Amino acid sequence: MKEIELKELREIELHILDFVSNFCENVGLTYFLCGGTLLGAVRHKGFIPWDDDIDIMMPRPDYERFLIEFPEHEYLKVMCHRRDNHYPFAFATVGDIRTWKYEKNLRKKYAKGLCVNVDVFPIDGLPDCPKEIKRFYSAISLKGKILQSATYKLGKGKTLLSTMMKNISILLFRATEIAGINSLQKILLKWNLLASTFDFNSAHIVGITAISHYGIKEANNKAIYSDKIKVEFEGKFYSAPVGYDTYLSQLYGKSYMDIPSKDKQFSHHISKCYWK
């Protein structure tokens, strides 16, 4: 297999984003750039120089339609746990199946089906009360830890204690898996049920709940998603929430337009990509 270098990787991802964006606009689905992709668009008019992925988000009703209506394509496919029992994430991706993405932390059976992709996150309804929101995201965080126990290889943590705790939790999950008590599918189905607790259309507060990284910082007034504007990303224009400043300030702080110091300019991703 031939390794895909950064420039080509970004070109593949941009091709996927173009296809997804055109499809959504043609059928009336709402999507927004999100996370580091939106930050890159606003601050750099493209990829953050040290980043290598593309993320989008959709209101839950649009997300559900997207999973059903995404068209047949020669090599671009929607991937999610509802379609593949070995798919290891609580959110969907659109991937180029001519490629393979090696995620070194994942067990082989969960890593073998991955490919270069664009991540697609649902935006879900949240409770109105700040204490309830915090409690809700604590439950999401717990789901994230359980998912890691299900999908990660045995390995080292930052300390001896964290290594022991990590590997014990992995081995305990594998024991329940062998006994038929638990499975990846059960975990992801429960996560999806939790994420869908509060109806998006009737909620006042909404946020991404399919990952646990940012936690309560994902929660925003739904008004910031009430309309979309176009932002430049690598020479083309894509949708961003009208309240993108509130969204980015919440995730990254009020100074999100400032370039971080050199010691903070690194990718959090630990994958290599190849042509099959």
**Cβ atoms 54, 36 nearer than 8 A:** no
In the structure, how many helices (H) and strands (E) does the chain have? 8, 12
Q: Is the pLDDT of residue 132 over 70?
A: yes
Q: What is the mean pLDDT of residues 204-212?
A: 96
Q: What is the mean pLDDT of residues 104-127?
A: 96
Mean pLDDT of all residues in the chain?
A: 95
pTM summary value: 0.94
Q: Is the pLDDT of residue 275 over 90?
A: yes
Q: What is the pLDDT of residues 210-253, one digit of tens each?
A: 998 899 999 999 999 999 999 999 999 999 999 999 999 999 99
Torsion over CA: 90, 93, 97, 101 (sign) = negative
How many other C-beta atoms are found inside a 10 Å radius of the C-beta of residue 191? 24
Q: What is the pLDDT of residues 36-88, one digit of tens each?
A: 999 999 999 999 999 999 999 999 999 999 999 999 999 999 999 999 999 99
Per-residue model confidence (pLDDT) at position 157: 84
Residue 12 CB contacts under 8 Å (≥ 6 apart), including other chains? 4, 96, 99, 116
pLDDT classification of 270: cutoffs 50, 70, 90: low
Q: What is the pLDDT of residues 184-197, one digit of tens each?
A: 999 999 999 999 99
- Determine the angle formed by the axes of helices 60-69 and 6-27, rounding to 10 degrees: 100
Q: Is the pLDDT of residue 263 over 90?
A: no
Per-residue model confidence (pLDDT) at position 264: 82
State the fold for domain 2-125+206-275.
Beta Polymerase; domain 2 (3.30.460)
Q: What percent of the chain has pLDDT over 90?
A: 91
Q: What is the pLDDT of residues 139-163, one digit of tens each?
A: 999 999 999 999 999 988 889 988 9
Q: What percent of the chain has pLDDT over 70?
A: 99
Q: What is the mean pLDDT of residues 132-140?
A: 97
Token pair of 26 as six digits: 């043609």
Q: What is the mean pLDDT of residues 254-270?
A: 86
Out of 24-33, 42-51, 182-191, 264-273, which region has the weakest mean confidence (pLDDT)? Answer: 264-273
